[in-house]
Chain A
Amino acid sequence: MALVEQGKTVAQPWWFERITAPWWVLAAVLLTMPVWVNDFILFQVMGWTFILGMIALSMMFLAGYGGMVSLIQMSVAAMGGYMVAIFGTSGMGEISMGLSWWLYIPIAIVIAAIFGTIVGALAVRTEGIYTIMITLAIAAAFFYFTRQNYTIFNGYSGFNLVVPPMLFGVDWRQPMPFYYLSLGCAVLCYLAVVYVARAPFGLALQGVRDNPRRMAALGFNVTAHRVAAYTFASVIAAIGGILLVWQNAQIAPGTAGIPAVIDILVIAVVGGISRPIGPFIGALIYVLLRTFSPDVLMAFGLSGERFKLLIGLGFLTVVFFSPDGVLGLWDRWQARRARSRDPLTGGET
């Protein structure tokens, strides 16, 4: 009995002690980044990484914890972005309603969440590849609908001049404020996923992933649980989508076109869907490749537009060597290092 009690105190230390050194280093690097990198890196590279990371995180939540590979997350994000443009202000004065920020932000998140929930309600009745197909089909339909509908989505040209509100006298589209805004949102979404994963809802979702039939035999409504997971993931995707429209200052059908939908899948898979940090790693790799590969390609005398070739090759390499992404590589490397340690002294052998 004493053994059990001792185990309990070790398993539940105060939260502060549970944060290990690498996390403190990461926090310090991220918080001080504006001091030592230029505006381009802050706004384009890091801002975009956090945004894509959040959207891919919503996919990771569904795929990693729920076992449902949903390709609708980019469309849900774009729905959030569109709603900000429609209910807030944009260059399209005849459509945009010009509501104030404390109205249009919640409205955008709620509408995007409803959209994601409806898609989820359709998709959860299918399994595996059929979930991928049905969500991809709806994503394609969303793309064509936004391109052809001019009364709400302003068709091909979409909305421009969509900027964040001037809150507290700060222009949130300036590189440094936008960096901290997107960092803050990304950290909140990350912590929310980490927290929920160990809450009854998240645990039950992992149970549904491992064995839906047994979950029903334990008293869980499996379908309702899966749909609720879509709702939760949609909220995260919507926050990412709102930041995305602010960063670009515009939104158009291409924001959630099929290539963008596939990019989110690539990001999540390359990073790894076993833990919530994976999508952010994947997003950083994707953004770095996307940003700097034209320069690299041109140095080799190739056309800079072929960056997709590099991304595709990178994707193939990662999937070939590590089906569970960069996180999987890391885990295996850690395991090998632990094995090679001397069991007596703890040093490297």
Chain B
Amino acid sequence: MTLVEDTRAADRLGSVSSGNALELRGVTKMFGALSAISDVTLTVQSGERRAVLGSNGAGKTTLFNCVTGDFLPTSGTIRLFGEDVTRFPAYERIRRGLRRTYQISLLFNGLTVADNVYLACRGVSRGRFSFLRPREDDALLTRADELVEAVHLTEWRDTAVANLSYGQQRQLEIALALAGAPRFILFDEPAAGLSPAERAELVAILRGLPGHIGYIIIEHDMDVALRVAESVTMMHNGRIFKEGTPEEIENDQEVQELYLGDGHG
């Protein structure tokens, strides 16, 4: 099972790419007088897998929201595959190969698993406004079924999302992020609330992603984070605190005092 096979779209998009998937320059987001993130400068290369760590309130999710366009940053620039997307609406960024999952599952509760994944496939292709039903052999329907199978939900493909278990909803979150031709994915605490067995499966899914797909993962579980990331960014109070390899971060004295020492690890 290949998770991403629409390489044609990836190639087309690849032609405009510089070496960096994501470049943030001095990104600040203020909520009133409170700065959720301030002066964040971050570069992630194409295909790089990065973990973002930090305690609650460090600004990790706000950072994601700025990158996907859920919020516009107060100042700073965001470049996606070399293109300045700072003022782009969310859907334009998604169509350029960016994907994300949410910390608290944001799914379509009134629709079935298959419909959820089909919408995700449809969102990044043409015919979003089509008034014609897809034919039975529609490529996107097939693709949606493959994704449902990839996250082990085939048995529940016609079940309404509202009736899925929490762990199944988390799996569906990931399926939505893998639709189309993703090039860079933001995972917001994908392991939160999962059982040890489900965590192992999640690690397998993340490690099995094709090499050209980079991602940033926010994860409190160091076991998961350090196994799926090749570089680590520590955030603290809305700022970048440390960057390095997993080993460097794990052995850093300041980091241990700040984060690993307070019982999270």
User: Which residues in A have some Cβ–Cβ distance to B below 8 Å?
Assistant: 4, 7-8, 11-12, 195-196, 198-201, 203-204, 206-207, 209-211, 213-222, 224-225, 228
Question: Taking beta carbons and an 8 Å cutoff, which residues of B are in contact with A?
Answer: 68-70, 89-91, 94-95, 99-100, 102, 106-111, 115-116, 118-120, 122-124, 127-134, 136, 145, 154, 158, 176, 179-180
- Assuming A203-B119, A219-B180, is B129 touching A228 (CB within 8 A)? yes
Max chain B C-beta neighbours (<10 A), residue from A8, A196, A207 = A207
Tell me whether A219 and B94 are in contact (CB under 8 A).
yes
Point out the residue from A196, A199, A206, A224 that lies within 8 Å of B108, measured CB to CB. Answer: A206
Q: Is the CB of A203 within 8 A of B136?
A: no
Closest residue of chain A to B69, judged by CB?
A: A216
Residue in B68, B108, B122, B145 with the greatest tally of chain A CB atoms within 10 Å = B108
Give 7 CB contacts A-B under 8 Å.
A7-B158, A203-B122, A206-B108, A211-B106, A217-B100, A218-B120, A228-B129
Do A214 and B94 form a contact, CB below 8 Å, given A203-B111, A219-B124? no
Whether B106 lies near A12 (C-beta < 8 A) is no
Contact status of A214 and B108, CB under 8 A, knowing A203-B119, A207-B119: yes
Q: Judging by beta carbons under 8 Å apart, are A195 and B133 in contact? A: yes
Given A4-B154, A213-B70, A218-B179: A201 and B130 interface contact (C-beta under 8 Å): yes
Please state if B122 and A196 are interface contacts (CB–CB under 8 Å). Answer: no
Interface centre among B106, B119, B176 (most CB of A within 10 A): B119
Which residue of chain B lies nearest to A228 when distances are taken between CB atoms in the complex? B129
The contact of B134 among A7, A11, A200, by CB within 8 Å, is: A200
Question: If the complex has contacts A207-B108, A210-B109, are A201 and B131 also in contact, measured as CB distance less than 8 A?
Answer: yes
User: A199–B133 Cα gap in the complex (Å)?
Assistant: 4
Residues of A contacting B132 with CB < 8 Å? 199-200
- In the bound complex, residues from chain A placing their C-beta under 8 Å from that of B109 are 210-211
The CA of A50 and the CA of B70, in the complex, are separated in Å by 43
The answer to whether A210 touches B89, judged by C-beta atoms less than 8 angstroms apart, is no
A residues in contact with B94, CB < 8 Å: 216-219
Contact B131 A209 (CB under 8 A): no
* B123 contacts across to A, CB distance below 8 A: 204, 215, 218-220
Q: Which residues of A contact B128 (CB under 8 A)?
A: 200-201, 204, 219-221, 225
Q: Please name 16 further chain A to chain B contacts, defined as beta carbons within 8 Å, in addition to the given A200-B129, A214-B107, A216-B90, sorted by A numbering.
A: A199-B132, A200-B127, A200-B128, A200-B130, A203-B115, A204-B119, A204-B129, A210-B108, A211-B108, A216-B91, A218-B94, A218-B179, A219-B124, A219-B180, A220-B119, A224-B129
- Taking a contact as CB atoms under 8 Å apart, the answer to whether B102 and A214 are in contact is yes
Docked-complex contact A199 and B180, CB < 8 angstroms: no
CB distance from B112 to the nearest CB of A (A): 10
**Residue numbers in A under 8 Å from B110 (CB-CB):** 206, 209-210
B interface, over-half SS: loop
With CB as the reference atom, state the residue of chain A lying closest to B130: A200
Among A11, A198, A221, residue most surrounded by chain B Cβ atoms (within 10 Å)? A221
Residues of B contacting A215 with CB < 8 Å? Answer: 119, 123
Q: Please give, as numbers and ranges, the residues of chain B lying within 8 Å of A225 by CB-CB distance.
A: 128-129
Chain B residue numbers with a CB within 8 Å of A198 are 133
Using Cβ atoms and an 8 Å threshold, which residues of chain A touch B119? 203-204, 207, 215, 218, 220
Assembly CA distance A286 to B133 (angstroms): 34
Q: Which residue of the partner chain A has the closest CB to B68?
A: A217
Nearest to B111 among chain A residues (CB) is A206
Q: What's the nearest-Cβ distance from chain A to residue B163, in Å?
A: 14
Is B154 in contact with A199, judged by CB distance below 8 angstroms? no
Closest to A199 in B: B133
CA distance A217 to B68 in the complex (A): 7
* Complex CA distance for A224 and B111, rounded to whole angstroms: 21
Chain A's nearest CB lies how many Å from the CB of B217? 17
In the complex formed, the residue of A with least CB distance to B179 is: A218
* Chain B residues, Cβ within 8 Å of A213: 70, 106
Contact between chains at B89 and A204 (CB < 8 Å): no
CA distance in complex: A26, B237 (Å): 66
Q: Cβ of A221 and Cβ of B134 under 8 Å apart?
A: no
Say how far A12's CB is from chain B's closest CB, in angstroms: 6
Q: Are B89 and A199 in contact (CB under 8 A)?
A: no
- The residues of B that contact A210 with a CB separation of less than 8 Å are 107-111
Q: What is the CA–CA distance of A11 and B116 in the complex, to the nearest angstrom?
A: 17
B186 to chain A, nearest CB (A): 10
Smallest Cβ-Cβ distance to B140: which chain A residue: A200
Residues of A within 8 A of B90 (CB): 216-217
Q: Which of B91, B116, B131 contacts A221 (CB 8 A)?
A: B91
- Chain B nearest CB from A324 CB (Å) reads 13
Tell me the smallest distance from the CB of A16 to a CB of chain B, in Å: 16
